[in-house]
Structure 1
Amino acid sequence: MKLVWCPDTASKAYIDTVKSCELFEESSVAELVSAMAAGWKAKVIVEAWSVGGVVSTSIGLAVASRHTGARHVCVVQDERSRLEYVEAMLRGVGVSPEVIVGEAKEVMMGISEVDFLVVDLRRKDFARVLRVARFSNQGAVVVCKHANAVGTSFRLRGVLPLTTRVVRTVCLPVGKGLDIVHVGSSSSGGDGDGGGGGGGTGSVTKGTGRWIRHVDEESGEEHLFRK
């Protein structure tokens, strides 16, 4: 990855988030995510928030964005979600980041150069959010919350766009479980699978055979069939 880690910025964001999230649940997730976003010097931070969820992670991301000068965007599904989110953020820290309402594919396709993405896996459309994300050429970090409850860690590679070069993945027992994926920079080359696009059905050539790749729109599971 071309993202460069800055421990000093990470520690400052961590400490500020600890102070800001004293009264919130899942503060451990917020502190970790804030430190990661700040440490990687993220410039475009996007979160796909789920209605009914706490905003501690959002506060952590807001803190990180202040330290890195990042654009912080929250993606919600409807006006009710937007109102709930903004009200919770105003109560928590007195400010709200940019909020975009709309269908996952349309909204995510309109945000480019994403280098830090946080997705709540309780959203029914989480697979679509991940599949159409437009990552930065410098690389990106993807954080998926509530991984234990949904049980998606084994199929995240299949949910991400086919051209995504996954450098490493890790599952952490923090909060309700975090799945973290590091996406490599585009200049480092692909993984040799070829192809393009995200979900649906596509073809991949491997060796002398031809494989048909299909991704389930709802579950995000990937299947390969040899033709």
Structure 2
Amino acid sequence: MTDSPLWKLGRVVLVVVVVVAALMWLVAQVPALNPFTTETKDRTGPALLQSVRDLSQYHAAEGDFQVVVDVEHDVAWVPGFIAGSRALFVAHGSVSAYIDFGTLSDEALTVDEERKTVEVRLPDPKLAKPNIDQEHTYLYSQDRGAWDRVKSLFEESDQREFYVLAEKRIGDAAKEAGLTVRAERNTRQMLTGMFTSLGYKPRFPADDNA
């Protein structure tokens, strides 16, 4: 029975598997022995200027944020080890608060030359779009079922979902961080210093209603 063709074939397959496993282990220990090493060549051309815009925004405050995005996809009635996935995505980003001077009307400044005062009506501060720090943002872990692992061999990795959720969470946190209040205060301090150096005393009408 031990000399049957099936048994001989099994022994050959076993030897091949052992040899391949040994070679893979050796290559992993000594990368220089790997004949299939990957060489990266950057053939990207220079960036092309498509448009230029004049900016009139004074960014007066900025907050740095970190969020861990925890996303799980379950398939109904299917165990997780067969289908489904869960990923932990660590995102770092910043949000700035600014005053848009481009929206100032002619009535925004009222100058009294006799009293040497200037009344300033500032527009409401706004929050800029979250800026994700690519260098410090990464996929921390990802657990996938067998079916999802097979699919990943034939599909490109797409992390857009994680970035969209990270931007939303960071944007929500920025709204609660009081950045707009700080931006307005810093802008007033900047304008106060500028007008004072010109010999004028600034006044902000919103302060009178506080």
**TM-score under structure 1 normalisation?**
0.16
Higher helix share: 2
Q: Which has the larger radius of gyration?
A: 2
TM (norm. structure 2) is 0.17
Task: Answer 1 or 2: higher relative contact order, Cα 8 Å, separation at least 6.
Answer: 2
